[in-house]
Amino acid sequence: MPDIEPRSARQAFDNRELENRPFWKMNGLGNDFVVLDARQSPLVPGERDARLIADRSRGVGCDQIIVLEPSRRADVFMRILNADGSEVDACGNATRCVGSLVMAETGAARATIETSAGLLLAEQGDEPHSVAVDMGRPRLAWHEIPLALQVADTATVPFGSSQLGVALPPVFSAVSMGNPHAVFFVEDVEAHELSRIGPILEHAPLFPQRANISLVEVLSRTHLRQKVWERGAGLTLACGTGACAAAVAAIRAGLADPRLTVSLPGGDLTIEWRADGHVVMTGAASLDYQGRLSFEPGTTSMRKAG
């Protein structure tokens, strides 16, 4: 990991616009985010700055950094940076959080959010603090996911995991929900050391853009249990696009009904793969606190000033 020590107490960031910048700390089922508002003044943290903000010992600490930017097509454009500074196109839990922010600002019951993966619609859910997001249609062709090799059926992709020293089923289901997912169905998600095998599979040659790795246990036709290794972020308490991908994979395999619950370490999401092909994800979105990015004078630790 690159050095993230600030050069001085008053010039910690490469981008000086970050110093004393307001932020929201939010989470969706424990999958947590630092949300920055760049709608009035442009701002994109570089890799080093993103790593510093996301660092849980010296920064605010988060799985991903979300930058809100103006959009001509929607209420807001959502830029997504992983904890390692890499940029990704989609994040379901962050979409719910941003949707809740925009709806609180406008007083409307819905919000449109532009991402690099397309336009998403967020609406208030039936339960308090719940948000439903239409995540669009899953991408199932090998080149859309993408995979490095052409396969006839992405629902059952052969994979020599044993050659990588990983004891998993010999096939997985590949799905893109705006980002690539590899879903392995297992008897017990706790029987595998995902913290070890996740980074191995994330960087496997079969995935030219890396991949999110999911272990999924089918509890019933309406209930899945899941753990996710997110590319660029590692183990997270929840992954919205991962839950959507798991549901799509289970339905394609004939293991689940079109509407089901996905239980992740951080809580439950309701996923519905509708007849029109769209996947709708519903779950909680929470504001933890607000603050400003700053550093304690004479230290290398960020002060989360409120």
pTM of the full predicted structure? 0.88
Q: Give the architecture (CATH level 2) of 157-277.
A: Roll (3.10)
- The pLDDT score that the predictor gives to residue 80 is 96
Q: How confident is the model at residue 299 (pLDDT cuts 50, 70, 90)?
A: very low
Residues with catalytic function: 91, 239
| Homologous superfamily assigned to 16-134+286-305 | Diaminopimelate Epimerase; Chain A, domain 1 (3.10.310.10)
Report the relative pairing of strands 212-220 and 223-230 from DSSP bridges. antiparallel
Q: Is the pLDDT of residue 249 over 70?
A: yes
The pLDDT of residue 102? 97
How many CB atoms neighbour CB 254 within 10 A? 8
* 269: DSSP letter: E
Residue 268 pLDDT exceeds 70 = yes
Asked whether residue 306 carries a pLDDT value surpassing 60, the answer given is: no
Give the tens place of pLDDT for each residue, 167-226. 889 999 999 999 999 999 999 999 999 999 999 999 999 999 999 999 999 999 999 999
pLDDT in tens, 136-154: 999 999 999 999 999 999 9
Tokens 């010039």 -> residue: 11
The confidence score (pLDDT) of residue 298 equals 47
Domain ranges of the chain: 16-134+286-305, 157-277
Q: What confidence category does residue 294 fall into, taking pLDDT thresholds of 50, 70 and 90?
A: confident
Tell me the pLDDT band of 297, cut-offs 50, 70 and 90: low
List Cβ neighbours of 75 (8 Å cut-off, separation of 6 or more): 102, 106, 111, 112, 113
Average of per-residue pLDDT across 277-292? 96
Identify the band that residue 305 occupies on the pLDDT scale cut at 50, 70 and 90. Answer: low
Give alpha helix (H) positions in the chain: 47-54, 92-106, 194-202, 240-252
Same fold, 16-134+286-305 and 157-277: yes
102-to-74, 111, 122 alpha-carbon distances in Å? 11, 6, 9
Range in 115-124, 159-168, 244-253 with the lowest mean pLDDT: 159-168
Return the closest-CA partner of residue 32 out of 12, 52, 9, 56.
Answer: 56
Q: Whole-number mean pLDDT of the chain? A: 91
Average confidence (pLDDT) over 54-82: 95
